[in-house]
Structure formats: structure tokens, C-alpha cells
């Protein structure tokens, strides 16, 4: 997989993990769908690894990529 990141989202310090009580940070994550993978950088809890997918991203880019893959 090429080391290209499909999207990068910085939490800018406003998101906190409720379980670990620490701030989410920009970190490496990956979307997987139908045997395809897309490296991304998303807000992630440094302790438990909770990856946050914001609403705009889910309904925008993620949906568009899903649809494109579904018709492959």
C-alpha cells in the first residue's frame, strides 16, 4: 500500500476519551472495505486506541469511497 494518507483530521484538543480521560490526538488509522485499505490520520485516543470518525467525514468522503468501491 502506498504511503499516501487519504484524509488527515486533527482533533485540535477539543476531544476527550471518556474512558481514559485523555485528549484524542492525530494518529494513524486505516479504513477497510471489501478487501481494500486506505491509510488515514484521525483523532485517536493515545491510551485505548478509540478512533473517531467525524460525521462530516462519514457522510462525505467515506460514503463516496464506499460507493465507488461498491461498483467495482
Where do contacts with another protein occur on this chain (CB under 8 A)?
A: 14-19, 24, 27-36, 38-40, 42-45, 48-53, 55, 58-59, 62-63, 65-72
Q: Which of 55, 48, 46 is nearest to 9 (CA)?
A: 55
Could you tell me which residues come within 8 angstroms of residue 5 by beta carbon, excluding any fewer than 6 positions away? 39, 40, 41
Q: With respect to Zn ion, which residue has the nearer C-beta, 38 or 42?
A: 42
For residue 47, the partner it binds in another protein, Zn ion, none, with Cβ less than 5 to 8 A by kind, is Zn ion
Nearest distance from C-beta of residue 49 to another protein, angstroms? 5
3-state secondary structure of 51: strand
Nearest distance from C-beta of residue 16 to another protein, angstroms? 5
d(CA 58, CA 54): 6
Nearest distance from C-beta of residue 20 to Zn ion, angstroms? 3
Amino acid at each position: 500500500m502506498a504511503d499516501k494518507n487519504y484524509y488527515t483530521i486533527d482533533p485540535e484538543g477539543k476531544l476527550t476519551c471518556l474512558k481514559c480521560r485523555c485528549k484524542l490526538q492525530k494518529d494513524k488509522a486505516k479504513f477497510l472495505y471489501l478487501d481494500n485499505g486506505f491509510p488515514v490520520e484521525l483523532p485517536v485516543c493515545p491510551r485505548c486506541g478509540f478512533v473517531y470518525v467525524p460525521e462530516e467525514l462519514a457522510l462525505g468522503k467515506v460514503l463516496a469511497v464506499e460507493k465507488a468501491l461498491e461498483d467495482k
